[in-house]
Structure 1
Amino acid sequence: MALNLFTRKQAAPPPAIEAATLRSDRFRLERQTDWQRLDAIVTALEKNRLRRIADDDLLDLPVLYRKAASSLAVARETSLDAATLAYLEALVRRAWFQVYGPRTGFLRWLRGFFGGGWSAAVRDLWLDICIALAVMVAGTLVGWLLVAGDSEWYYRLVPDGMAGGRHPGASPEMLAQSLEGTKGAEGLAIFAASLFSNNSGVCILAFALGFAFGIPTLLLLVHNMAMLGAMLWLFHQGGLSFGFAAWLSVHGTTELFAILLSGAAGLHIGRSMAFPGKLSILSAASASGRRAAVVMAGCVLMLVVAGLLEGYARQLVETSEARLTIGIGMLALWLAYFLLMPRRPANAGEHAA
């Protein structure tokens, strides 16, 4: 009889152990949704599947990590079950590496960027690129029509420093002389540097103004393209349309492409703020800003190339045919890269930034 009583008492768990088990189960049930979400995000990042992660999940990654770390601290203090403790320790360790761990090396980042990250980011902005392109074409037409209706508009649209003696009333000979190249490259490095500074200023401004719902970006694109439209009209009047187009194409296909992408990047941020969807305006701007920043990083490279082409190739190459060949070749090169390069994240570690 005594043995039976002893056995019966041993089969029933002590009240302290039963309470601890219930406490552990309650603790896990209250927090396991966040743990599972963090686990899914970290697993996707470890498998380099960044584009499969929703923007709001990436934004919440640091918060989920801190919650898991706090849960781990509580689990250690209250001596929760070993399985929960081991799971949390592994999850927090993996999440820490993704949030605060070593960043991708520069060479690896560079390979990822040129190996598909930049082109993928550009393709993600296709709608904004279409809008910016339409606005740029409209701005060019506006400049042409304004100057065609009243030549005084030329002086309002084209600054004196940019006109360089090319103005309404100038003879075709004078206009043709302004398109001629140089025999040497002396001083062209300084010229290229100044052109890069000017063009980069336009691109950065077009991108930065996107925060105001993209409206200033669109106005800036219209204004800059109206200057081009005015100059197109001027050379058309002098019978030099082909020569001017060839002269411009050497650097223009790269430079205008960079301005187009910069405007689209700024517009992308503005459009996401105006139509944030289910996200808050701040979260939408943050998510779109990361994509636009990748595009802008590439635009800087394009402006460097445009500055070199404008400062050297355009000045040293004298025939219109050769200039046009260079311009079309550069345009084909950029289009081939953006359209044909396989999609890959620009930076496998950018989520940790």
Structure 2
Amino acid sequence: MNELLFLKQREPDWKRLTQLSDKADASVSQLKPEDLAEFVRLYRRACDDLALVRTESTNDDLATFLNALCARAYSMIYRTTHRPLGAVLIHAIALSASTVRRRIGAIALSAGVFLGSALFAYACLIYVPGSRDVLVPPEFEGLVEEWKQGEMQEQSGLDSVGASAFYASNNPTVSILASSIAAATFGVGTASILYSNGLMLGTLSHEMASVGKLGFLLLHVMPHGVTELSGIIVSGGAGFLMAWALIHPGRRRRADALREAGKDALVLLVTAVVLMFIAAPIEGFVSFNAAVPNEFRAVLIFGTAFGWGAFWMGFARDFDSREATESRLPTALR
């Protein structure tokens, strides 16, 4: 090879790669998009140059220089960056909202099963009165009668703390079960959990409406229910996502389809569990506490419904397109 001509042609690119490496010394993210594209292109050319020098040249100094240049650029592209905790949390929240939007079909199916079963139970009790013996089993009768009395007791701060701790430790179990048994049951287990919980809600709603206290039920369930039921529905979506990958893997192996769906399913499951934890103190301090005014309950219901709706539909919209772009880049550049 003609080393002088080679050096004359390639040295400007090596100098430019060195400049970009200096600029990206702290983080590759400091480079503008056009600079990043140039950085990757020059890095690949430098790797080609290094391979050429090693095979067709005896210039050890040049090979050493190019090896150091490529190693430095490689370390900048593929090194692990440590982001502040706040940035990590914001990224996790953005990923949650983005995943819910992308997987809205599975979540809508979950909502359909849950709400559909609630409406089914309500309609059965209206048009088939004899179904009450099935929908209100003996072990459920006592709870229904307590609700029909339309009374709540005031709770002390200690009682509320204890109740919140109980709900926080108990309620996430439903979400975890709804999604974790999906693959083993082809989604039947997920649908069964959603169906049974929907039946309970529909049955209790009808029983309260029959004594003119449906409003009382809503005011004492929905303050935390908006968040908690959202968690149940999102976890059901995670379960259906896994079930669909198992039932319809397409051209992929089922194991590969499950692995791919599992990434989003895990995000949805964690989201559901977090929603359950958020709902727990609301349930413990507000929903079942007679000292809380109904006006505050109503404001909380509409406020959380509007807030969650705005969050799911609008938060970190730019993350959606960025995530789609990053999926086409090497992992280390994301």
- TM-score normalised by structure 1 residue count: 0.66
1 or 2 for the larger relative contact order (CA 8 Å, sep ≥6)? 1
Matches within 5 A, 1:92-107: 93=75, 97=79, 101=80, 104-107=83-86
* Conserved 8 A contact 1:175-1:235: no
**Aligned twin of 1:152:** 133
Separation in 2 of the partners of 1:331 and 1:247? Answer: 15
Separation in 1 of the partners of 2:259 and 2:106? Answer: 17
Matched, 1:138 2:116: yes
1:169-192 CA deviation, whole Å, 9 max, x = no partner? Answer: x498x5212xx2415323221212
**Aligned twin of 2:179:** 207
Separation in 2 of the partners of 1:266 and 1:91? Answer: 42
**Aligned twin of 2:8:** none
Separation in 1 of the partners of 2:257 and 2:73? Answer: 28
Separation in 1 of the partners of 2:76 and 2:259? Answer: 24
Matched, 1:186 2:158: yes
Separation in 2 of the partners of 1:81 and 1:88? Answer: 18
**Aligned twin of 1:282:** 255
**Aligned twin of 1:242:** 215
Deviation at 1:230, TM superposition (A): 1.2
Separation in 2 of the partners of 1:243 and 1:122? Answer: 31
Deviation at 1:263, TM superposition (A): 0.6
**Aligned twin of 2:298:** 324
Percent same amino acid at aligned positions? 21
Deviation at 1:225, TM superposition (A): 1.0
Q: Pick from 85, 89, 92: which aligns with 1:113?
A: 92
Residues 183/137 of structure 1: CA separation in 2 closer, same or farther (3 Å cut) = closer
Matches within 5 A, 1:1-353: 80=55, 93=75, 97=79, 101=80, 104-114=83-93, 116-147=94-125, 148-156=129-137, 159-160=139-140, 165-167=142-144, 170=145, 175-177=149-151, 180-212=152-184, 213-316=186-289, 317-343=291-317, 344=319
Deviation at 1:330, TM superposition (A): 0.8
Separation in 2 of the partners of 1:246 and 1:187? Answer: 20
Separation in 2 of the partners of 1:47 and 1:271? Answer: 37
**Aligned twin of 1:38:** none
**Aligned twin of 1:22:** none
* Conserved 8 A contact 2:97-2:311: yes
- Pair member with larger Rg: 1
Q: Which runs of 5+ in 2 are unaligned?
A: 2-27, 31-47
Separation in 2 of the partners of 1:171 and 1:209? Answer: 33
Deviation at 1:341, TM superposition (A): 1.1
Between stretches 117-126 and 292-301, larger displacement belongs to 292-301
Separation in 2 of the partners of 1:278 and 1:89? Answer: 39
Amino acid at match of 2:154: T
- TM-score normalised by structure 2 residue count: 0.69
* Conserved 8 A contact 1:118-1:294: yes
Residues 211/88 of structure 1: CA separation in 2 closer, same or farther (3 Å cut) = farther
Separation in 2 of the partners of 1:252 and 1:223? Answer: 16
Residues 217/166 of structure 1: CA separation in 2 closer, same or farther (3 Å cut) = same
Separation in 1 of the partners of 2:164 and 2:210? Answer: 29
